[in-house]
Structure 1
Amino acid sequence: MKKLVASLCFSFMLLFCFSSASATSFKDVPANHPAAKEMEWAKKNGFLNGYKDGKFYPNNKLTEAQFVAMMANYYQNISSQSLKPLKGEHWSEPYYREFKKYKIPLLDYYSTYGRSYPITRGEMARFVAAGQNVASDGYNAVQYMYKHKISQGKSSRVQNFHTYGYNDELARWHAAKFLYNLHKAGIRQVQPFNISKAASPSFQLKDANGQTFEVNTKKMNGVYGYATFDDGPFPVWAGAGEGDLMFRADYQLTLHQLGDSTILSRLVEPNYEYNYTRNLIRVEQSTISGQGDLLFVEATMSSNFEGANVYMVKNGQLVQLKTEEDFGLYYSWWPRLTAKNQLQTLSYYNHEGSWYLNTYRIDTKTEEIYDVSSRKISNKQKDDFLSKWY
């Protein structure tokens, strides 16, 4: 009799555990899934629904078009129910048309080609930050996500740009968590675009001692507009896609203590063409002891090369590092600090179809960047290298 009772109890426990593990409205989402609550919440509110077969497919990647539709459904000041495609339009066109009013950076406003590609965590961060009138460069966007606890990044110990997973594609269950955290942060409306903030972004920059300063950029004069195929100040070319928001002006860079308007130092980038959409002023955030952050003010040089003036904070002053090239450092892929006073870049030479890994040293005494080595690498080596880059 005792064995029978024990057997029945054990069977009941198994049934209870099994039922609890699948107690969501989605066939493929167990109750112990790390985002079960958030997926149910997203479905209940009509932000991110399941499929007709009763499944959520949590590990499927979210495309840019799906993400844009999700955000249109989420923001309270966008009437998503009234957004209907015109005859012959792609189903996502009305959502893109709506967000274009807010100058939100997206890959494919003017074609549908890239809309079916998975959106990355970095692109999502830029979308969210730009919608709140935060500079849409990757660095400031990631800091915004951390500050408002929309994301914790991919490390339980360190929160910085490199631990965010900037280039990782966004799965559907990740999207539900991001949206839920956005809701908890009280961010429920997309804000009208502020051209002044877009023109003059600010950045935080640490020196080698770990002290944090603020760098403010300011457009002093000049013109702004959108890149077009028509006659105008900003034609479409390798450095500007159709619809990119462009500024051309003398740019002033000033260094301040955090929370203090007193100018510690001032430098000027003359006649600088700033592509806001492409995020051409960036910070390389250091994770290395004794190594300060670097600020890159970039310009597109060709279809496969960027050039950048590089800045650092030294003795409470903003200094521009001298380089061997006329316009700063040249590269095809965003530079990364890999050791104290060591920087690496990737360059692609299309005349030979080859990638090169370049290593530079930073001489903080002479304020120079100089070549150490450059070696040809295979496409596989390049892919392996990039997989560990961020």
Structure 2
Amino acid sequence: MKKQIKVVAMILLLLTSIAAPTVSFAKDHIEANVLVENFSDVNKNHYAYEAIKWAQQRGIVSGYPDGTFKPNAELTESQFAKMLAEFLAIKDNKGDIINATTHWSDRNYDSLAGYGVPLNGYFDTVIRDKPVKRGVVAQAISHLTGNASSLTEAINYMVGEEITTGQNREFEGKDLSKFFGSNNNLTRAQVTAFFFRMHKSNIEEATGIAIEIHKNTEGLSLVGSANNGMSKLDNSLRTGKLGSETPDFSSALLPISDSAEYVNVNYINEVISHLSSNTINKIKEKGYQVTMTSEGIVSTNYFTLGVSSEIEKVMKYRFSYREDIDIEIVKCIVKDLSGETLTDADLSQTTKVTKGKIVITQEFEGVKDIRILR
């Protein structure tokens, strides 16, 4: 069993090179240590200049590799979750939301779930990557620092503490939600300014109901706490679906191992759909089960298959496998992906083998790697 774990770990390590162009982390979280004074799109006259400078020094925000901060870019919920967790120094010490997602922001959502923070994206990476609404931001912040239990209480708290002055003056005294702009999106600069004002008002730690939830005297699972948080969102803001302790894997093209972690059915189906139904059935017959997924990558107890993104100009697929796999499965997978037919002789070599657009190498003891080029 230990040997199997070691081999699978090596396969996963091998496949990480194909993951970089496809995972959400690469899209939303590649940032660079560019000093605020050097941001090409933030000068000293920008209304949020001091806020951005402070937030960068605190490690709450940073810039992008192209030397910009993108102050007017709409903030996604996952980006907000990271900023919120960093600002209040909320740590991921309650474990993981079981089998929910594989996303760069998982750690932040795990942290916030422990405090029952109202957010939509606990169980949905698509929602995480969409712009966050002002009302969601207000409810999340005020839940953690202001004991607010509703959108109305949240807006009153945000305005009362001068974290914001609202957005639509024509609705002041008439419609609180419209006055605040609850269903409008926010920019990176706007949310950074929120946190800067909180800092200047010494609102910098979780309190009240959030702390009581974190004590978890009811013995809730992290999934249960996340569900409670999501349920607190106003109906006008709620887009997420509640999570389950036992996720529904019934639509997966391959069976899931009982010990699997970080499994996303969509990722499984996106990758495995590149194989023929005949090959998929053979994999099932052999009892191979999914143990882990990432965007563009599926790992089973015997092999890992990666599908590169369109921006990868050289390699189209990468397939790594344990040498005690049924060799006919290897042949079927390669045939489906490349159209090439491999022989026993091709697969038994210990030196590099090139056949058409296929490159076979022995990467580790007990592990072979097949790259299928474009």
Q: TM-score, normalised by structure 2?
A: 0.45
Structure scoring higher RCO (CA < 8 A, sep ≥ 6) equals: 2
Higher strand share: 1
TM-score by length of 1: 0.43
